[in-house]
A and B are shown apart, each in its own frame.
Chain A
C-alpha cells in the first residue's frame, strides 16, 4: 500500500473525513427531529444531547476536511452547498426515524459501529483524526449506554414494544452491511490508519451481541442487500433531508448568518 501517491492518499483521507462528518451530521439532523416530541421530557433532553454531540463531531471533522481540501472555505460550504451525490454518509444515518423503537435501534447500531471506528482510528498515524476520535469516543460510549438500555427495555418490556423492536431490526439490519462491505477508501488508507474491515466487523458483532442477548433477541442473518451511501449513491431520503437543511443557504446566497 505504499505505492499510492501523496495526492491520492490525501484525497482518500478527505473522503474518509467527509464520510465520518456527513454520517455524524445527518445522524444529528435526524436526531434533532425528536426535539420537542420525545416520549418523556427527560428523553427529549437526552436525545438533544446526542444530537448536539453528533453535530459537534461533524463540525470538528468538517474543519479538518477544510484543511485537507483547500478549495472549500469553511464547514458551512461543505454542509450546505454540496449536493446529495457528494454526501458520503453511511446510508443508515439518513433513514427515517420511524417510531421510538426504530430510532433507538438505529442509534444503537450506528453508535456501536462508530465506537469501533473511533477506537481503530486511535491507532492510526493521522494525529488530527486521532484527536477527534479520542474526543468523540467518550460521547459515543455514552450514546451506546443510552440506546443499548432502551434497546433492552423495549425488547424486554411489553409485547407491543418487543414487536416494534423486532420490526425495526428487520428494517435496519440490512443497512449495517455497508459498514464493512467493499471499502476502497479504507483499504487505500491502510498504510496510514491500519484499519482492517474484517476486524472492525468482528469487534462490532462483539459489541452488540451481549445487548441483543440481554434483550432476548437473536442476531439476524445477513442479506444480499448492500447500500452505498458511503460512495455517494443514497436512498431517496437524503435528498429531502438536504432540501430542508440547505434551504436558507441556497435561497439567499451571499447572506450573513
Chain B
C-alpha cells in the first residue's frame, strides 16, 4: 500500500545504542542529500517529528481559512471577493495536500483532525488573532503569507519526499498571495483617510504576531535543532525572522505605513535591521490556547465536523449499498 507504511517501527524496541546508531546514520545520509520515501525504513523519532511538523502545518492551513473567510461575504468589490474566495480555497487545498502527505506515514487524516478538534494538536499561533477590518485581509496576505512563504520555500528541499513534493505545489500556488495582499493595501492607501487609518490599524495589530510566526528564539526552541538535523527544517527560526524583517521594512516604506516598533533601525555593522523585543509571554499564551480566538476557531471547526457527520455517514452508506446492487 502506497500510503500505509510503518504503523509501528519494527525496530522501535531496539536497545538505545542501536536506535541511536540508526538515527545517526540517517542524519548523515540526509545531510548528503538522501530523500526518504514513505515505505523506507525510518527511525521512530524521525517519523514522529515528521508527523508532528506536517500535521501542525496542515492544521494551520485549515484553521487559517477562518480569519480571512470572515471577510468573504463582506469583500468590497466583486474582484476582491473572487480573489479572496480563491485564496481561502487554496488554503483548504494546501491543508489537504499536507494531510495527504502526512497520511503516507501511516496515520489517518480523521485521527489527526480529531487531535486538532480535541485541542491536542497545535497550529500556527497567528490564526488565533481576529480580523477586525477589511485591511486585515491585505495585511494577512502581505505579512502573514510573506512570513509563511519564507518558512515554506526551504521545505521544498526537505528530506521527506511527500512533504517536499507537497511544498513544491503549495509554494507554486502561494507565490502570488503575498503580492495580492500588498496590492490590496496599496489600493487602500490611495483612498480616503479612513481607509489609510484602517491599514495602519491592521499593520499595528499584525506586525508582532507575524514575527512570532517564525517560532521561539533559537535558544528556546525545543524542536528547531531536532528538525534541522532531520533535514525537515533548513534554517533556524531567528535566521528566517531576520530575513523577513530585512525585506519587509522597505516594503512598509513604499506602502507608507509605520511598523509599530520604535527600535526598528538599520544596523550598519550587522547589515541587518535591529528590532525590539518580542513579547514571548503573549506567544506562549496564544500557542497554548489562550489567544483572542482559539476557542472560536476550534469551536467553528468542531461544530462543522459534528454537523457533517451524518453527511459522511450517508455517503458511505450509499457507496456500500451501490456496491451491493
Contact = CB atoms under 8 A, between A and B. Distances in A.
Q: Is there direct touching of A and B in the complex, by C-beta distance under 8 Å?
A: yes
Contacts, number: 150
A52 B314 contact: no
A44 B191 CA distance: 34
A169 B76 CA distance: 34
B255 to A, nearest CB: 14
A59 interface: yes
A42 interface: yes
A245 B316 CA distance: 36
Given A32-B72, A40-B308, A160 B314 contact: yes
A255 B85 contact: no
Interface of B: 62, 65-66, 69, 72-82, 85-86, 88-89, 92-93, 95-96, 99, 134, 184, 187-188, 190-192, 194-195, 300-301, 303-304, 307-318, 321
A172 B200 CA distance: 46
A37 B134 CA distance: 21
Interface stretch (A11-19, A74-82, A121-129, A137-145): A74-82
Q: Which residue among B77, B301, B311, B312 has the maximum number of chain A CB atoms within 10 Å of its CB?
A: B311
Secondary structure at the B interface, as helix, strand, loop or mixed, is: helix
B94 to A, nearest CB: 10
Secondary structure at the A interface, as helix, strand, loop or mixed, is: helix
A161 interface: yes
A152 B88 contact: no
Given A36-B65, A101-B311, 4 more contacts: A35-B88, A41-B95, A245-B73, A245-B74
A252 B134 CA distance: 11
Q: Which residue among A59, A100, A256 has the maximum number of chain B CB atoms within 10 Å of its CB?
A: A256
A58 to B, nearest CB: 7
Nearest to A59: B78
A55 B85 contact: yes
A160 B65 contact: no
B315 A153 contact: yes
24 contacts: A32-B85, A33-B73, A37-B307, A39-B304, A40-B308, A44-B65, A52-B85, A52-B89, A55-B78, A79-B78, A153-B314, A153-B318, A154-B314, A156-B321, A157-B313, A157-B321, A248-B75, A248-B134, A249-B77, A255-B76, A255-B188, A255-B191, A257-B76, A257-B191
